[in-house]
Amino acid sequence: MLATRRGSPGRLHSLARALSTESAAHTIHSPPPFPPQKPETNKPRASRLYPRPRPAAPSNHQALQRLPAAFGKNQLLPVPNSTRALLEQIVGSFEAPIRYAFAYGSGVFEQAGYEQAGDGESKRGKVDRPMLDFVFAVSHPGHWHSINMHQYPGHYPLHARALGSSFVAKVQEFGPGLWFNTFVPMHGVTIKYGVTTVDTLCADLLNWRTLYLAGRMHKPLRIIKDDARVRLTQQVNLTSALRTALLTLPDSFTQRELFSRIAAISYAGDPRMLLPAENRGKVANMVSRQEGQFRELYWRLAQGLPGVRWGVDAMKIEQDVSAHARAAHLKKLPQGLLVRVHERMAGRGPSREADESAYWLRVASDEQMPTILHEEMCKIVRYPATVQSLKGVVSAGVAKSARYTAAKVGKWWKGVSASPS
């Protein structure tokens, strides 16, 4: 029997292989600890970054990964290659992560009354060259400002650097939700850039909560860094501006009249238009030189609206002004404006709950509707625009604020001098 047990070399060999395999597997799962690595010398130590970036908080919104290739094509306005390269170079200089960036204003698209910089520009031409305006939409403003403050401390006033990025992020939340750094020299030009969050930007584009960002984006702008979610909400914003303008216009009008109504939305109620702090002819100056860009933004959108007839090469536009057609536009106005319209129309007839169809027809046929829309947009714009103007003293400092105000007064005086008496 002992011989039988000893005569099983195959079983013993298999048992040995199994034990050796288990032992090997055990040693693989329990490696010796690695020695501590030395910090890399080519990167700045965390203690040198002040204020320290705060950990990113999880976002409640899932990123929109992709849109159809042709969606929002009307938003991609061309600019000269030299301008495009300069704008991309400026935005690319920021180390802090930017999700969406655009440039706007007379420094990007030509406006009447502004000198355009050229290769053979004179010394006076350089002085008159308008400042380049940017808006950056970011995910986490406190984290963004801490990185940017470390890279470009001179962009912030002394008190903002002393109080840190948390202070800047908190001030940014007031009013329309922007922090502006102004009179910043970069790459041979002077720029002004505002920082907001993607959530704040998209909320204003959809609902016209303040019309501060949405109103600026009614006009031609150059997208430098794109984001699918912003492009989607911007398309809604442009359509809302088109519907609102159509509700204030008669059955026949020119495309320039349409563009002027759209461009004026963000200036309605702005306190700077009541004070000597803005060029009174700004809308006319803009539309007269940017009519092609406005048409690119809005012509395709108008083709999808019921009752609007606007030919490919036509300068004249016609629309159906019946109560049913206007009610179709009213129902799809942004919530921030539509709520105010409901409040103004309360008590003027059957309630919305009693008969919704009759209510919309009554509201749409009201002769005072264009005036009501204008007055309510003024109310939306007035408070956040006032708060943002007051925030300029905090974000820019006294010296830069005085310089910026002087430049605005100069534009106002230039507009008054140029206007016919």
Q: Do 381 and 211 meet the contact criterion of CB atoms below 8 Å apart?
A: yes
Examine the pLDDT at 190 and tell me if it is beyond 60: yes
Q: How far apart are CA 403 and CA 381, in angstroms?
A: 24
pLDDT tier at 28 (50, 70, 90 boundaries)? very low
* pLDDT value of position 416: 52
Q: Give the pLDDT mean for 137-148.
A: 98
Give yes or no for a cis peptide into 306 (omega within 30° of 0): no
**Least confident interval from 153-167, 176-190, 251-265, 394-408:** 394-408
* pLDDT value of position 1: 42
Quote the DSSP letter at residue 96.
S
Complete DSSP assignment for 218-276: TS-EEEEE--HHHHHHHHHHHHHHHHHHHHTS-SEEEHHHHHHHHHHGGGTT-GGGTTT
pLDDT tier at 127 (50, 70, 90 boundaries)? very low
Sheet holding 132-138, edge to edge: 179-186, 189-197, 132-138, 100-104, 221-225
Complete DSSP assignment for 33-46: PPPPPPPPSSS--G
pTM exceeding the 0.75 threshold for the entire prediction = yes
pLDDT tier at 2 (50, 70, 90 boundaries)? very low
* pLDDT value of position 17: 44
Examine the pLDDT at 237 and tell me if it is beyond 50: yes
* pLDDT value of position 411: 56
Residue from 216, 206, 200, 326 nearest 265 by CA: 216
Q: Is the dihedral of CA 389, 171, 223, 76 positive or negative?
A: negative
In this structure, what token pair is assigned to residue 115? Answer: 């000198």
Q: Say how many Å lie between the first and final Cα of the chain, rounded.
A: 127
Residue from 147, 128, 127 nearest 136 by CA: 147
